[in-house]
A and B are shown apart, each in its own frame.
Chain A
Amino acid sequence: MATAEHQVQAPVTDHAATSTGLPNMKLAIWLFLASDCLLFGALISTYVLYRGASIVGPYPADVFDIPYTSVSSFVLLASSLTMVLALASIQRGDPARMRVWLLATAMLGLTFVGGQVYEFTTFAAEGLTLSTNVFSTSFYVLTGFHGAHVTVGILMLLTVVGLSFGGRITQERSETVEIVGLYWHFVDIVWIVIFTVVYLIPTGTPPGA
């Protein structure tokens, strides 16, 4: 028999009724994420435009380590799972468990970012710096923006953990976690697109290079 503490409860808000029934914060984050799609769209478009346009190398095939980046992509994907588990925990009324999963998410995110930092320093050692060619230019700014988004996400996760310790995240007011979760999943999905377009779809090295 399910006791009250194991029942999953949809968050009960004390907000005034809204015209759509959605809480303001949720509508706002969806709109913001839609806007952010265009941000990444412009960056990805720039990258795609400059495929094969670099005059000097290194070129993508020279530096990419697909197995390595696949592993770190997996790590980021896994962090979405832990994020879902964190939300489920607080919706079940278990802030302690939520904190565990949130920290796990943050750790996985940190691993991802750390992996990127390592990857970039390797590239730099191989001669691919920010100002080397249009490939490096568009690559680093695109992935750098994504990495910045992940970092902001990690900060938000840790902040929520802190707020939870202060008793401000409860089963009734779990909306904050849901919203951070939406942001986190968005960042994850963007990475899937970036990974596919940038790493997986081969550009080929220009002839004569």
Chain B
Amino acid sequence: MASVSIPTERPGGLLRRPSATTGVWSWITTVDHKKIGILYGVTAFFFFIVGGTEALLIRLQLAQPDQAILNPSVFNEIFTMHGITMVFFVVMPLSAAFFNYLLPLMIGARDVAFPRLNAFSYWAFLFAGIFIYSSWFLGGAPNGGWFGYAPNSVVDPTRGMTFYAIGLLIAGIASTVSAVNLAVTIINMRAPGMTLFRMPVFVWMGLVVQLLLAFSLPIITIGLVELLFDRLFGTHFFDPAAGGDPVLWQHLFWLFGHPEVYVLILPAFGIISEILPVFARKPLFGYQFVVFSGIAIGFIGFGVWAHHMFAVGLGPVANTAFAVATMIIAIPTGVKIFNWLGTLWNGDIRFTTAMLFAIGVISMFVIGGLSGVMHAVVPSDYQQTDTYFIVAHFHYVLFGGAILGLFGGMYYWWPKVFGRFLNERWGKVQFWVTLIGFNLAFGPMHILGLQGMPRRIQSYPESLGLTFWNLVSTIGAFTIAVGTLIFLVIAISSFRKPKQMVADPWDARTLEWLTTSPPPVHNFDDIPVVHSLDELWHRKYAETGGGRVVPVPAGGSGDDAHGEDHGDGHAIHLPSPSYFPPLAALGLPVLGYGLIFGLPFVVAGLLIMLVGLYGWVLEPSAE
């Protein structure tokens, strides 16, 4: 039974809420988690193109020995920006796109806990990206690596690392606030009957990710503040001449940085945990174990940070402890992989594009995971660290794991979000081109690293014998670019088709497929009452004792059997759009420019923020 959404509004007044539902203003003032998810996705994909271009430039420079396509100064900026972009402005926001759009739908909610705060997070993220990229035009981009080790990041005379510190602080605020928002949503806004162990794995991974962010971001916040203060105000946090310890930066950075890599991979793990069962036509094998593994990875992830510091000279006790902890964390990861294999076993596998990507994730992550275990063997890591062997490892897990998983998610959920399919035939082409290009680009890096190629070098001499595999790697990188271009064409041309999609095109298992494609602004006409894991599946099919499946007779899947309260056609009140989240967010980069260019901007930034925040507090609301 259709319901009508009515935005709350009080007529008149300075603080009247905006009311646009279409057009640019509707996107700027939206507080709808679905629109915000799309904003994150589009912005992140744009940054993916930019970061990918930076990668292509690096690969061009390194395709042959002793080249000068990029001089050392520019090269340092390019590889730094590539890392920053991919981690903070591509994988994290792409994951945020999926979380924002899908989490409320999967738990049967109408929106997140704090819709305006959600909008604020998106705008703060966007402004952080613009802020950091503006550095190219304002004195030089960050050039100290995405990891920004002190003292190099402190003493560098260009402005780049100041932009780095401030920009990441802004992005950190966006993510911290979003983490609280989404965690509260998952914990507190589940549909009636959805206990924690009836939540989809994607939601569980979402919860673990938000908690990882909430507890790791404060640590790097302090690290970045200390870096900024050393650069701007003459403090001595990392100043060896005054008794400061540059290694403190590394501890603070990696205490964040290691949980961060689980933030980067767990969403993709969640995505494929949803895709595999649907296209294998059987439930996820070992649901509780997959969930517990995710939780275990979250916890242990806080205890392995110094495996990035094995060569720092922390001593054999520390190195031993962190080596063992790192090996331990491989165990829950392996459990997940085995459970995904168990899902495929004895299934009825359909090779949709989404399924191909999901299988690709398993395959590529095994390689990345195994090389990771090799790094945990500390004496070997003394050779591997800071070489292309490490670059190979993390690209296998981040591209082969996270990016492939995110692509899979796009093919899977595109029909839900946009009411059209992405072209399956060309999607498969894109999958193979991307997979082959990826392996060509990063496979040889294992060899290059062991043969003596350090990281972050602008060039290498002919005499080291590194030329052949560098050239292969460059060819691979350009192949990835072709694959990405194919995806762009597929994505854009999908909008040529009319918006004609059923609610559940894939015969799936989770609640987002219960509502229309795309969902109405209020998500569900009636909030579903949940009776089991894979609730949607169990509304469609009943399992007999032997695990055989029979469709539920027609009419049995009607609403009446599930205890939903249809109400009487009463209107659903949704939060109104608002100007103030983007306004408050705008104060942050202005304040940031103030730290670089002077007091007037500081004052302006604070004022904008205060106006934004007070408007937010004072505007009429029914949230």
Contact = CB atoms under 8 A, between A and B. Distances in A.
A38 B528 CA distance: 38
A3 interface: no
B547 to A, nearest CB: 30
A36 interface: yes
B597 interface: no
Given A34-B214, A35-B217, A42-B222, A133 B242 contact: yes
Contacts of A66: none
Nearest to B186: A19
A interface secondary structure, majority: helix
Contact of B184 (A31, A43, A133): A31
B187 A27 contact: yes
A28 B113 contact: yes
A141 interface: yes
Interface in B447-478: none
A41 B215 CA distance: 11
A39 B218 contact: yes
A56 B115 CA distance: 51
Interface in B229-264: 229, 233-237, 239, 242-245, 248, 252, 255
B188 A42 contact: no
A54 B242 contact: yes
A193 to B, nearest CB: 15
A41 B216 CA distance: 11
B285 interface: no
Nearest to A131: B234
A167 to B, nearest CB: 13
B180 interface: yes
Given A19-B189, A35-B215, A141 B235 contact: yes
How many A residues are at the interface, by size bracket? 35 or more
B interface secondary structure, majority: helix
B226 interface: yes
A134 B243 contact: yes
Interface residues of B, number: 40
A141 B223 CA distance: 12
Contacts of B184: 24, 27-28, 31
B398 interface: no
Contacts of B179: 35
A31 B225 contact: no
Nearest to B110: A16
Contacts of A199: none
B58 interface: no
B619 to A, nearest CB: 12
Interface string A25-47: 00110011011111101110010
Closest CB pairs A-B (n = 3):
A131-B234, A42-B222, A39-B218
Interface of A: 18-20, 22, 24, 27-28, 31-32, 34-39, 41-43, 46, 49-50, 53-56, 130-131, 133-134, 137-138, 141, 145, 159, 163
Given A28-B113, A46-B248, 15 more contacts: A19-B188, A24-B114, A28-B181, A28-B184, A31-B184, A32-B180, A38-B215, A43-B222, A46-B226, A50-B245, A131-B234, A131-B236, A141-B226, A145-B225, A159-B617
26 contacts: A19-B189, A27-B188, A28-B114, A28-B181, A31-B180, A31-B183, A31-B214, A35-B217, A36-B218, A39-B218, A41-B218, A41-B219, A42-B219, A46-B252, A49-B248, A130-B234, A131-B233, A131-B234, A133-B242, A134-B242, A134-B244, A137-B236, A137-B242, A138-B237, A141-B226, A145-B225
